Amino acid sequence: MASLLCNARIQLTETLEKMQQGTLMRKVKSKSWKKQRFFKLQDDCMTIWYQSKRTGKIESAFSISDVETVREGHQSEVLQSLAEEFPPERCFTIVFYGRRGNLDLIAGTEEEAQCWVQGLRQLIEVATSMDQRERIDQWIRDWFQKADKNKDGRMNFKEVQRLLKMMNVDMNEDHALRLFQAADKSESGTLEGEEFVLFYKALTEREEVQSLFQEFSEDGKKLTLLELVDFLRQEQLEEEGTEELAMELIDKYEPSETARARHVLSADGFLMYLCSPEGSIFNPQHRALWQDMTQPLCHYFISSSHNTYLIEDQIRGQSSIEGYIRALKRGCRCLEVDCWDGPNGEPIVYHGHTFTSKIPFREVVSTLGKYAFQASDFPVILSLENHCSMEQQEVLAQQLKDILGEQLLTATTDGRVPTQLPSPEELKHKILLKGKKIGRLEDTLDGPGDEVPDVSDDDNGAEAEEERRRMKKDRESLAQALSDCVVYCKNVSFRGFQEARNHSRPSEISSLSEAKARKLIRDAGNEFVRHNTWQLTRIYPSGMRTDSSNYSPQEMWNAGCQIVALNFQTAGMEMDLCDGLFNQNGHCGYVLKPPFMRDEGTLFNPSDPSTWQGPGPVTLTIQVISGQQLPKVANSKDGAIIDPLVRVEIHGVPADQAHQETKYIENNGFNPHWDETLQFQLHVPQLALVRFVVEDYDKTSRNDFVGQFTLAFANIKPGYRHIHLLSKDGTGIPPSSLFVHIRITEPPGPEQD
């Protein structure tokens, strides 16, 4: 049984054995909440559970695959607050993927802390480097662990029935018993080791994949190299280097060594390929950095966060450096910081005039310096909301320079007045401050002073006078040292597209509320798109959204707005769209806008179809075939089996916005079959995002969310594809997936003479 329970890649070291024996540690939630819990690594080496010392009740469990990293020492606000009580050598933090809160722990001794830190890191490395086959084995082990109630390493029929319900399978007892007896080779009345593997494989047999395999296989048992090439060309529309690709897939996904040596693919290998990244709906070549990064900054959509320091609501929520770490790790490139005067001459960050907690500005800057370029090399824009006195503004400037050093951009890239913004490539590893600035950028490059250009006519004279007045006002409220830190992102009030064009300063940026932006899109859609070809615009959520809800970023992207700030802490459709747009291009936080949004003379207006160029709409045809091992609805009553349906949503220009859904399948979350075809017309496919949502149908109330996956239309691969579903949080829920067939039909081009 041990072979099934423990991952073959894991060498049982002394450290892991100690973790399996268990350790008593303090779980910490605040300065006053510190409780003893007994932590134990399970026999599978992939699950950890902990129980209350007082009640002995198992409190919680988590899988190693849920853990992103382990931080040693006082690396969280809670542990920092206990620094005088507990030495850093005994403290560590377990950081989970998604929005799940961290786990702060204090071990009894330095040795125990080291044992868990090193052991967890070893296991995380194994979990992240597992290939497709090992992952499947791991799922089998996970299910076995969950269902083996009495932990005797074998499973009787009653335990199997419980397992089926846990797996979202509604199977009649006779059929379940037949599968059980077929797998029970030893006829012992229980399944152990390889018998359980057989049972799982029988359970997860995929008829729809089998019939597809047989369509291309002459003998029904294998695909020869040429048969696989035919499948890749005809169905998957792979065009270049198909033979090389076929060889690669056989090497990577064929489990049998003999078949690999003969360059053939078995049915098992074929299924492995279809479930792999190469068989995914997301074009694997677009996962890496694939776009031109040498265009001006305003030619990109930029992943942007609002009130980054908040991890809950806007009124009473907690402010935390964790908000910055999470956003930066997701590839966010524009962060917001609200600064106010703090005690002892130290500026603080919080949502002013509310009950949100406060953090020192110094800590935010240190966190930024440490995490800014872990997920992406491209520039970070720090949007500064400055409410500080002149004295503390001096401190802000000093802390930015001292802590960030060379990372902080304090001069133009070439020392000249910019005629256009520099590119992400030119600004690699730089942090740009966005804020108010005294006077114009050209004045600081010529040396400080009150010079205003010579003016001849009256109009310009009035304008110069206005400029002087504004400069004087800024000098009274803004510290010169802080003003000097602002180079390419000078905050200016928006006074209309014409005035912005007259001044033509690419280094200025306006921030607009979502309502103001909507009005501009409605009244002057094309002007807005043109404005965004040469200058940056930032959009932020309405002040009424005290619950940290979000607006749809799509309508702002449709107008070419680059910095569309969202509350990253709030899961939902809006953040799915944000993740869907930015999970391409190496997750670097920058996505190049389509050509018609980078041309200053563009006629494009998102609301006016007569301004769209192109031969006509693209047709997207999606056959929703089946679902695999869909998760249960969180907090569902008595673990009910779901009735799943699939909804496909198109988010794009108003004329492309659409959604269609399949019928629901009763009582089957394990392997539902829909076999339904949905079809959409896309007039501006370059801006379209496609969101696949699985819901649990409920005839009396709103359907419950089960899983989703969102991607830009440009990243879709045609053919037979799996869609690997994500939770509400945007984290993976393997092995949950949808199996679909995608066809993209381009409109006919202009007729040739």
Instruction: Please provide residue 634's backbone torsions phi and psi, each rounded to the nearest 5 degrees.
Output: -60, 140
338 carries a ligand binding annotation: yes
Preceding peptide of 735 cis, ω within 30°: yes
Residue 286 a catalytic site member: no
Compute the distance between CA of residue 669 and CA of residue 633 in angstroms, rounded to an integer.
10
148 carries a ligand binding annotation: no
253 carries a ligand binding annotation: no
Provide the greatest CA pair distance for the chain.
101
Residue 306 a catalytic site member: yes
**Residue 605 carries which side chain, given as an amino acid letter?**
N
184 carries a ligand binding annotation: no
Could you tell me the two tokens for 716? 């879709």
Catalytic residue selected from 74, 299, 306, 651:
306
102 carries a ligand binding annotation: no
Instruction: Look up tokens 């995490």; give the residue.
Output: 371
185 carries a ligand binding annotation: no
627 by DSSP, 3-state: which? Answer: strand
Torsion, CA 669, CA 670, CA 675, CA 681, rounded to 10: 60
Bridge-based pairing state of the strands 689-696 and 704-712 = antiparallel
466 Cβ neighbours under 8 A, 6+ residues apart: none
Contact between 602 and 732 under an 8 Å Cβ cutoff? The reply is no
Instruction: Look up tokens 């509400």; give the residue.
Output: 728
Q: Which of 82, 100, 97 is nearest to 27 (CA)?
A: 82
Question: 3-state SS of 31-47?
Answer: CCCEEEEEEEECCCCCE
Extended strands (E) in 476-609 = 486-491, 508-513, 536-540, 563-566, 590-592
Q: Which of 547, 526, 572 is nearest to 691 (CA)?
A: 572
Contact between 230 and 216 under an 8 Å Cβ cutoff? The reply is yes
474 carries a ligand binding annotation: no
Contact between 147 and 155 under an 8 Å Cβ cutoff? The reply is yes
Catalytic residue selected from 286, 351, 531, 724:
351
Bridge-based pairing state of the strands 300-305 and 359-360 = unpaired
Q: Sign (positive/negative) of CA torsion 558, 562, 565, 569?
A: positive
Compute the distance between CA of residue 232 and CA of residue 170 in angstroms, rounded to an integer.
35
459 carries a ligand binding annotation: no
436 carries a ligand binding annotation: yes
Q: What kind and span of H or E run contains 401?
A: helix 390-404
434 carries a ligand binding annotation: yes
Question: Phi/psi class of residue 168: alpha, beta or left (left: φ > 0; alpha: ψ in -120 to 50)?
Answer: left
29 carries a ligand binding annotation: no
651 by DSSP, 3-state: which? Answer: strand
Residue ranges of the binding site? 307, 336, 338, 385, 434, 436, 511, 538, 641, 643, 667, 696-698
Residue ranges of the binding site for Ca(2+)? 307, 336, 338, 385, 641, 643, 667, 696-698
Residue ranges of the binding site for substrate? 434, 436, 511, 538
Instruction: Give the catalytic positions in this structure.
Output: 306, 351
